[in-house]
Structure 1
Amino acid sequence: MDFSKPRLFAKVDGHDFDFDEMNGLHFLELRTTAPQTRTSLQTNDFQDGSKQQGPILYGSRTVAADFYFEATDLYDFELASQEIWRRLYSRSLIELRWSRMPGIKMLVIAKPFETTRLNWGDMKFTVEFDMPAGYRQSLAKSDQMQFIYEDELAQIGMNLPNGEDLAYHFKQTRFKVYNPSDVVIDPYYQRHDLDIIIKGQGAPTITNLTNNYGIALNRALTANDTLIWNGVRPLLNGASCERATNHGHLQLEKGWNDISVTGLSNIDITFSFPFLYL
């Protein structure tokens, strides 16, 4: 990819496009605001200062993209405006990424914007996007990264350890899962995306020895079964099986997580989650 000129890419309703492929449109720069913290401060009439109640949370933030457009005539100007609106506005979140951070995407919503006419045909404008989640995420999930590790899906700045081939598919009773995110992957309180796909024979118990979170199925799997722990929701062959579990969930700390598996033979376990970045 040519990094001499920044390029902006988007996926809207399943369709990918490069903004610079539109005749006359030039993407100039992308600016992202710093993380926005949300506090819950409690004051006491008899004490100085305030005390934070519970964890500090991250609120939504904004991303701004600067553009310049050169029209060939007045009709081209109006047609371009309509095309830009068509590309930017959707009933679903837009997937936005740019050439300087090709492995990281932002899920955003375009806000209304005004154009500044520089002459009869040229204009410049800035589009501001809301990023509701408050953090960015990897373009691919963890289990996809291991197969295309040297592709654009992995880049500098994603906290990936040097010289180590990360694995997220395991057949052992003891293994380590690396979470390069800037935050703990927490499917319970934060509703983070985490799928644990389990195959084998027996009644599995999977424990993160790093933080003592664990999941367990109280009935035996057969060779034809697939158990998916979708966040906090266990699904056996696509059907809910929560009554046959310990009602637990796994949480991945930042960095390495030491995982233990008991009660299962012919182990085949996959950890699938996007990496999250501030």
Structure 2
Amino acid sequence: MDLLIKKQGLTINTSDYGLNCLKFRPQSVSHNHQTETLENFDGLIHTGTTFGSRDLQASFVVEEGSHVLLNLLISELHALFATKEQIYLIDSRQPGKQWRALVNSVFDIDYKNPFTGTYDLNFLSPRSFCESVGTTLDEFTFDSNLWQVGMNLPADRDLVYRHTTNQFQIYNAGVYLEPDKLPLRILFKGASNNLTIKNKTTGETFIYSGSSGPNDTIVLDRIQHFKNNTNIFTYTNHKRISLLTGWNDFEISGTDGSFEIVFDFRFYYL
């Protein structure tokens, strides 16, 4: 197997550095339970649970033709993995998913002989979820090399995220997507008056009390609202739109003439 690293705009295959990846293992998600105690009440009262960060473990075998070359390679590896920024990790066995990660361990080689050693690394994923490499605006074909089996993608229906009608469906292949926690952009392009976007599946409704012209764009970017890059949050009902796993039924009103609405997001997986 190979481990791919996306760093500073580059995609690097660790095998190009002579690393034979023996293991890449995301640890299970941790559960952070919030509880309270009450006097004269047995046990605890559960008030909520959140998922924690994820530990990612990788192990490699590295081999060179001489001890000197092996030491030179180790210096290259130190430079490769020394970063203060988040990187992305992709397991070649699941090429459609990527992990946001921070290097989270001291790393050095364990020599097996003068020419060979093992190289172990720990990473920390600040998010509880990995994400799809592709977005909903990419082409949904396996030829695009962005998707894989095991991503909960339906085989019996086309996935469409650009719509020009007042009623349509949006499919979310991943976990429940809350825009205050995970990225979600909804772009409406066209004329409107009191634009209303409703997710009938969740019961959530967004309303913009102003108007827009045929060439205007209204954007719901997570929990922020913009019209042509100007913040219009004050003129909305301050509501968000989230997406349940699976199909979400949408209805739009307040449109005036032709329009397009676009949903731009990734899928997130445990």
> What is the TM-score with the length of structure 1 in the denominator?
0.91
For residue 138 of structure 2, give the secondary structure of its aligned residue in structure 1: helix
Separation in 1 of the partners of 2:191 and 2:142? 31
- 2:40 counterpart of 1:16: no
For residue 21 of structure 1, give the secondary structure of its aligned residue in structure 2: helix
Q: Which of 246, 250, 254 in structure 1 is aligned with 2:241?
A: 250
**Equivalent position amino acid for 1:15 in 2:** L
Contact 1:234/1:242 (CA < 8 Å) preserved in 2?
yes
Q: Report the RMSD for the aligned CA atoms in angstroms.
A: 1.5
Give the structure with the larger strand fraction.
2
TM-superposed CA distance for 1:37, in Å, is 1.2
Extract unaligned runs of 5+ from structure 2: none
Separation in 2 of the partners of 1:150 and 1:57? 37
**Equivalent position amino acid for 1:155 in 2:** Q
Q: Which of 44, 60, 72 in structure 2 is aligned with 1:79?
A: 72
Contact 1:197/1:226 (CA < 8 Å) preserved in 2?
yes
TM-superposed CA distance for 1:69, in Å, is 0.7
Q: Which of 210, 216, 219 in structure 1 is aligned with 2:201?
A: 210
Aligned length: 267
Q: For each residue in 1:223-271, what CA deviation from the matched residue of structure 2 results, as whole angstroms up to 9, or x when unmatched?
A: 1111111011011111211122111110111111111000113120111
Q: Which residue of 2 aligns with 1:3?
A: none
TM-superposed CA distance for 1:60, in Å, is 0.3
Q: Which of 122, 127, 145 in structure 2 is aligned with 1:128?
A: 122
TM-superposed CA distance for 1:127, in Å, is 0.8
Extract unaligned runs of 5+ from structure 1: 1-5
Separation in 2 of the partners of 1:266 and 1:87? 50
Separation in 1 of the partners of 2:234 and 2:139? 33
Separation in 2 of the partners of 1:251 and 1:91? 32
Separation in 1 of the partners of 2:83 and 2:94? 23
For residue 267 of structure 1, give the secondary structure of its aligned residue in structure 2: strand
Q: Which residue of 2 aligns with 1:41?
A: 35
Q: For each residue in 1:93-133, what CA deviation from the matched residue of structure 2 results, as whole angstroms up to 9, or x when unmatched?
A: 11110111010000001122232111123110211110111
Q: Which of 90, 102, 106 in structure 1 is aligned with 2:83?
A: 90
Contact 2:74/2:109 (CA < 8 Å) preserved in 1?
no
Q: For each residue in 1:186-238, what CA deviation from the matched residue of structure 2 results, as whole angstroms up to 9, or x when unmatched?
A: 013xx210000110111221001111112121111111111111011011111
> What is the TM-score with the length of structure 2 in the denominator?
0.94
